[in-house]
Amino acid sequence: MEILNDSQWKLKSINISFQEWGEYKGKYIGKIEFANRTNEAFSFNITDEKALQFLSLIRDNVVDSASKLGERLMQSLPPQLLAANEPKGIADVLEDVK
C-alpha cells in the first residue's frame, strides 16, 4: 500500500453540472478540487467543452448502470403490479368498451 506524505496531492472531487440559468445557461460547467494532508487545497473550473469530454468518457457506463437499475427495479415490483400493466390485445380492449 502506498503511503502518502503530507505534501502529496490527491483528487478531492470532480463536479460537473448543467446550468439552468445565468451566464452559462444551457451549458455544463464544472470544478476539480485537489487537496493534501496539510489541508491545503486548490481547484480550477472546467469549461463546457472539457465537461462534455468528461461526460463522453462515462456515457456508456451511465447508460449501462441505468439499464441495470431499471432491471432491478422491475424485479422488485410485486407480481400484481406487473400483471396490471401488461399490454392488452385489441380484442381485450374492444371487450372492455362493450
Tens of pLDDT, residue by residue over 17-69, are 999 999 989 999 999 999 998 888 989 899 999 999 999 999 999 999 999 99
Helix and strand numbers (H, E) in the chain are: 3, 3
- The answer to whether residue 82 sits within a structural domain is yes
The contacts of residue 11 (CB under 8 Å, 6+ apart) are 32, 33, 34
Mean pLDDT calculated for residue range 57-83: 89
**Which domain does 16 fall in, by range?**
10-97
pTM: 0.56
- The answer to whether residue 66 sits within a structural domain is yes
Confidence band for 89, pLDDT divided at 50, 70 and 90: low
The contacts of residue 51 (CB under 8 Å, 6+ apart) are 16, 27, 28, 29, 30
The structural domain count of the chain equals 1
Provide the pLDDT for residue 94.
Answer: 66
- The answer to whether residue 22 sits within a structural domain is yes
Q: Is the pLDDT of residue 83 over 80?
A: no
For residues 18, 62, 12, 21, the Cα torsion angle rounded to the nearest 10 degrees is 10
- The answer to whether residue 74 sits within a structural domain is yes
- The answer to whether residue 2 sits within a structural domain is no
